[in-house]
Amino acid sequence: MKTITFITLFIIASFNAMAENTAIKQLIREYQLDTKSAGSAEKGRLLWNKKFTGKPPFTERSCQTCHNSNLKQQGQHIRTKKTIEALAPSVNPKSLSDLKKIKKWLKRNCKWTIGRECTADEKNHLLTFLKQQ
Amino acid sequence: MNKSVIITAITLLVSVITIPAVFSDDDRDEYRQRSLGVAAVISEPYTNECSSCHMAYPPGLLPAGSWQKIMSGLDSHFGDNAELDSESLKLISEFLISNSADNSSYRRSRKIIRGLNTKDAPIRISELPYIKREHHEIPDKMIKYNPEVNSLSNCSACHAEAKKGLFDEHSVRIPGYGHWDD
């Protein structure tokens, strides 16, 4: 009987752990399988802050151009001035909670900011960094 | 003064007083929308995909050809990458085209079309002759150099009911300047 209770509890606990596995964790796992390496929050932070050159009128571009340099605060779309909700999951639980959306925005925003799609390594680092915010 | 004139006058007077009562609030809203706005159509995929960066412009503001052009160039969308997955692209294109200005009977949509040649397909709402004409009296300081407005393309900054497709003067509030009257 004890064993059954233990197994049941274990299964429930695993389910809970799975439910907690938000989209971002799932995606990180995907990239880790792809790249066969763990993401580095530090490398993610450096990429997040790195400045790139783009076409005028926005010649200097970085993630912070539209997302606030303080990730816990709202950002603003540089061109349309529309408010962008804070990206840090600690203050905005909706942020980074939809797998499809994360992929879409990584693709679009890497292209705009860096001028090309990000590699799986870069995305792995970026998400590892963002998850901790 | 003969009798018939008096009877006609009374009939007219009574009609003027009673006719408005025949219309319900819904009728009045419908009338306001048709005569003063563009159709307030909603599509969830459109709002979800397009309103992250800008207002979801009502489709009745551009002709079908314009929407086609915009939707086929999303990888370079006014300088931004706004690519969509193929399913969303199809759904949203169909929505925009079937509700475009040339497929609408609403007054402002008609006026937008009247200002264009048949083959014109401008991709900027702010460059439509009708839209330019309607805004030409407003000084740059209230739009372009107004930090809360920034551009004519930012409809909802001043048109409080833009999302509902309503653009009449009653609902205009220019940030820092207030109500606008011609």
For A46-93, the pLDDT digits (tens) are 999 999 999 999 999 999 999 999 999 999 999 999 999 999 999 999
pLDDT at B17 over 80: no
Using 50, 70 and 90 to split pLDDT, how confident is the model at A10? low
Average pLDDT over residues B62-80: 96
ipTM (interface predicted TM): 0.74
Question: For residue range B155-165, what is the model confidence (pLDDT) as tens digits?
Answer: 999 999 998 99
pLDDT the model gives residue B81: 93
Structure tokens at A10: 């274990």
pLDDT of residue B42: 87
Q: What average pLDDT does range A21-43 have in this prediction?
A: 92
Half-sphere exposure of B71 toward its Cβ, with a 13 Å CA cutoff?
Answer: 23
Q: Where are the beta strands (DSSP E) in A16-120?
A: 52-53, 60-61, 75-76, 83-84
The mean predicted confidence, pLDDT, of chain B is 90
Query: Taking 90 as the threshold, does the pLDDT of residue B22 lie above it?
Result: no
Burial (CB count within 10 angstroms: exposed 0-12, middle 13-18, buried 19+), residue A10: exposed
pLDDT at A123 > cutoff 90? yes
A60-61/B173-174 β-pairing: unpaired
In chain A the domains, ranked by start, together with CATH numbers, are 2-131 (1.10.760.10)
pLDDT for the residue numbered A20: 41
Dihedral of CA B147/A108/A72/A84: which sign? Answer: positive
State mean pLDDT over B2-11: 76
For residue B33, what pLDDT is reported?
Answer: 85
Distance from CA of B109 to the nearest CA of A (A): 24
The whole-number average pLDDT for the span B141-161 is 94
Contacting residues of A for B143, CB less than 8 Å apart: none
A52 touches chain B (CB under 8 A): no
Q: Is the pLDDT of residue B142 over 90?
A: yes
Q: Which residues are CB-neighbours of A98 under 8 A, at least 6 positions away?
A: A23
CB contact under 8 A, A111 and B150: no
Q: What is the pLDDT of residue B167?
A: 93
Interface contact flag, A112 B81, Cβ < 8 Å: yes
Whether the per-residue pLDDT at A9 is higher than 90: the answer is: no
Nearest to A108 among B55, B82, B153 (CB): B82
